[in-house]
Amino acid sequence: VLPFPSQVVYNRVGKCGSRTVVLLLRILSEKHGFNLVTSDIHNKTRLTKNEQMELIKNISTAEQPYLFTRHVHFLNFSRFGGDQPVYINIIRDPVNRFLSNYFFRRFGDWRGEQNHMIRTPSMRQEERYLDINVCILENYPECSNPRLFYIIPYFCGQHPRCREPGEWALERAKLNVNENFLLVGILEELEDVLLLLERFLPHYFKDVLSIYKNPEHRKLGNLTVTVKKTVPSPEAIQVLYQRMRYEYEFYYYVKEQFHLLKRKFGLKSHIRKPRPRPEFFIPSPLETEEPIDDEEEDDEKWLEDIYKR
């Protein structure tokens, strides 16, 4: 019997499919009897030291087994004397994430025509209908750094330098992925993410894929799709690539690790041919979809090691 982690944290990254996953978690928590702890705070990802201590205390005293979810940058429980929980997360292509957020803030999703007005009531009309190409090419704050440095801080943590685009935050984020996260999946391969979550955390995610594929659930999930999205010009996209080079380096690192994990457990990728990397990246040998001969490792031993971290 594999160890059963009784404390799981999903510090969900905005606009990376988290509302779809939370819909699934609500069903799963009733089905499997675990405590789903959610937060109504959506716009406070960076916390003071006292706020970190208070949140960790509140999470740690929740009825176990629990799965806590909130948009919040990585919290180091052990720093404040707590037991480090099992972390999970999902990310997506950084430009696609940015575009989804840009139009969602302005126009909401299919759940209601006025959804966006409730979410951003103070947004001026000229800002709401600002052309995405103008925003990017004329260096509006919303389309420039540090606003574009968004995914890495969720994995880097609460240190002030985690919000500064650069190598320090990137490397710390990679280290945390390796040492503190059971799984970081990519949204473009969500079904495989769910399959692995069911394998690693069956007490929480058993039957998740069958629920996800249920037509009634898919109908609910479609309501969370952002409306009125448009594609920027190739010139504007290339500018975004250049501004988000650290985000892309992190994304490709996570993607490669995710594919290695899939191969370890015999999952083959059935995905569309990926777009070529931006020119500032050096090609990696791990991008191939060919099987990689890893040293065999006992799967259950590997999971036990993860749970003991």
> What average pLDDT does the chain have?
85
pLDDT at 304: 55
pLDDT at 123: 87
pLDDT at 2: 47
Tell me if 144 is assigned to some domain: yes
pLDDT at 7: 95
Q: Can you give the residue range of the structural domain that contains 69?
A: 5-266
**Model pTM?**
0.84
Q: Check: CB of residue 100 under 8 Å from CB of residue 226.
A: yes
* Mean pLDDT along residues 4-12: 94
Tell me if 279 is assigned to some domain: no
- Beta strand residue intervals within the chain, DSSP E: 7-10, 35-38, 66-69, 86-91, 181-186
In the predicted structure, residue 105 carries a pLDDT above the cut 90: no
Tell me if 273 is assigned to some domain: no
Tell me if 45 is assigned to some domain: yes
At residue 291 the predicted structure's pLDDT band, cuts being 50, 70 and 90, is very low
Overall domain count for the chain:
1
Q: What is the pLDDT of residues 248-262, one digit of tens each?
A: 999 999 999 999 999
The whole-angstrom separation of Cα 234 and Cα 229 is: 16
In the predicted structure, residue 277 carries a pLDDT above the cut 60: no
In the predicted structure, residue 218 carries a pLDDT above the cut 80: no
Tell me if 180 is assigned to some domain: yes
In the predicted structure, residue 276 carries a pLDDT above the cut 60: no
pLDDT at 295: 40
In the predicted structure, residue 1 carries a pLDDT above the cut 50: no
Active site residue 203: no
At residue 119 the predicted structure's pLDDT band, cuts being 50, 70 and 90, is low
Q: How far is CA 127 from CA 22, 96, 106, 130, 233, in A?
A: 30, 20, 9, 5, 19
pLDDT at 221: 59
Lowest mean pLDDT among 55-64, 99-108, 177-186, 195-204: 99-108
* Mean pLDDT along residues 232-242: 95
- Which residues, listed in sequence order, are joined to residue 185 by a DSSP beta bridge? 90
pLDDT at 14: 94
At residue 194 the predicted structure's pLDDT band, cuts being 50, 70 and 90, is very high
Set 71, 159, 203, 217: catalytic member:
71
Q: Euclidean distance between the first and final Cα of the chain, in Å?
A: 18
The whole-angstrom separation of Cα 158 and Cα 114 is: 34
Tell me if 295 is assigned to some domain: no
pLDDT at 8: 97
pLDDT at 227: 60
Tell me if 79 is assigned to some domain: yes
pLDDT at 288: 33
- CATH number of the domain enclosing 260: 3.40.50.300
Tell me if 287 is assigned to some domain: no
Angle at 253 between CA 89 and CA 226, to 5 degrees: 50
